[in-house]
Amino acid sequence: MKTLNDFDFKNKKAIIRVDFNVPLDENFNVTDTTRIEAAKPTIDAILAQGGSVILMSHLGRPKGAEEKYSLKHILKTASEILGVQVKFAENCIGEPAQTAAKNLQPGEVLLLENLRFHAEEEAGDVAFAKELASLGDIYVNDAFGTAHRAHASTTIIAQFFPNDKCFGTLLAKEIDSLNKVLKNSEKPVTAVLGGSKVSSKITVIENILDKVDHMIIGGGMTFTFIKAQGGKIGESICEDDKLDLALEILRLAKEKNVQVHIPVDVVAADDFSNTANTQIVDVTAIPDGWQGLDAGPKSLENFKKVILESKTILWNGPLGVFEMETFSKGTIALGDFIAEATKNGAFSLVGGGDSVAAVKQFGFEDKMSYVSTGGGAMLEMLEGRILPGIAAILD
């Protein structure tokens, strides 16, 4: 696996695919700088060697060149975070890009305009990729969030750098962290799978059953498993067409000696609202008109025991409707357990949109071994797929 350490960047122009698809407010201020900060170590390392950097990214889902999706809006923030005045090219190809790249001096950073202003980016157009490639000497992919897409800038471009391509610091860390869970894990391994739907996690479950010792199931998908086993779930969310699938997962887990832990009690509410009436009930006996919205205290005690005995932990999905304070306690408690296990030497990997959001919201970011930046990409790797953006560098 080639990384930055395999190259000397002195007097070289590195063209880096970064993921600067950041949220902006109505005044075009960046409201979350995580992704820009995540790319900083790669950029710093290349500049420190006397190289220069050309950054390419997408922003949003523009239909053609839409002003509101221009990457010029993030220039000020990127310059502040990188500690260098970032230059800007008003197109990612053509004369503006060519001239700006040609004039770039060692130690300088150039940001190209939004790649998705051109339909050729998502189409994986070879001529477009070749034009991007002509701007730099070495190609660096540091965008895990888009590594599962075979776009021009993430995959196709790599063929124009047969010997001069590598992973950036962030992408290398993502691959390493996932491999620690999927290939080189220290046992016992526990996967915590939350969220609302079994259907969105089925391929992940199938792929990791051979690699884990414990599987904790939480969130809305709990009730599909409970109903499948004959429990009464009241008005709780349930995928009625996945009941047989839930039973099949339990059968497979038993066959592979994986212990499955499902909530035994829940915080039930008489309405999907922060101000609803609540009661703690047995998960198999939720009254009519009530719905389970968080894991209950007995469930959390059971989960705590499993987590604290684990050496490798994967957390993908919350235990309840954490966006509402009333139903956030289970997810917060789970975060506390994983933080404690991590402090005691376990390796913990958090990934998937909602669990990352919860980790950030409740201040667990620095208490986990690794928090993944790519939701869809991470899920596809957990499903056992080879991501095109990664394969293109390894090729």
Task: Profile the chain (395 residues) by mean pLDDT over runs of 10 residues.
Answer: 97 97 95 93 98 98 96 98 98 98 98 98 98 98 91 98 97 91 92 90 90 96 97 97 96 97 98 97 98 98 98 95 96 98 97 84 95 81 89 93
Element (H, E) at 226: helix 222-228
User: Known binding site for ATP: residues?
Assistant: 201, 292, 323, 352-355
Q: Within a domain: residue 388? A: no
Q: Are 146 and 51 found together in one domain?
A: yes
Q: Are 146 and 194 found together in one domain?
A: no
Res 354: pLDDT: 84
Last residue of a domain, one of 167, 184, 205: 167
Show the domain range for 278: 176-382
Q: Are 322 and 375 found together in one domain?
A: yes
Q: Are 56 and 188 found together in one domain?
A: no
Q: Within a domain: residue 393? A: no
Q: How far apart are CA 375 and CA 353, in angstroms?
A: 5
Q: How far apart are CA 28 and CA 230, in angstroms?
A: 52
Q: Within a domain: residue 395? A: no
Which two structure tokens, joined as six digits, stand for 170? 């962030």
Q: Are 120 and 220 found together in one domain?
A: no
Residue 152: half-sphere exposure toward Cβ, Cα within 13 Å: 25
Count of other CB atoms within 10 angstroms of residue 75: 15
Q: Within a domain: residue 394? A: no
Q: Are 107 and 248 found together in one domain?
A: no
Residues annotated as catalytic (active site), given as ranges:
35, 197, 353, 376
Buried b (16+ CB within 10 A) or exposed e, 174-188: bbebbebbbeebeeb
Q: pTM of this prediction?
A: 0.87
Q: Within a domain: residue 315? A: yes
Q: Are 105 and 76 found together in one domain?
A: yes
Number of folded domains in the chain? 2
User: Known binding site for substrate: residues?
Assistant: 19-21, 35, 58-61, 116, 149
Q: Within a domain: residue 317? A: yes
Q: Within a domain: residue 286? A: yes
Kind of pairing, strands 278-282 and 265-269? antiparallel
CATH number at residue 263: 3.40.50.1260
Last residue of a domain, one of 137, 167, 197: 167
Last residue of a domain, one of 146, 167, 188: 167
Q: Are 85 and 115 found together in one domain?
A: yes
DSSP string covering 55-101, please?
Answer: EE---S--SSS-GGG-GGGGHHHHHHHHTS--EEESSSSHHHHHHHH
User: Known binding site for (2R)-3-phosphoglycerate: residues?
Assistant: 35, 116, 149
Q: Are 157 and 304 found together in one domain?
A: no
Q: How far apart are CA 175 and CA 56, in angstroms?
A: 21
Q: Are 146 and 195 found together in one domain?
A: no
User: Known binding site: residues?
Assistant: 19-21, 35, 58-61, 116, 149, 201, 292, 323, 352-355
Q: Are 147 and 282 found together in one domain?
A: no
Q: Are 156 and 287 found together in one domain?
A: no
Phi, psi of 191 (to 5 degrees): -110, 125
Q: Within a domain: residue 390? A: no
Res 353: pLDDT: 62
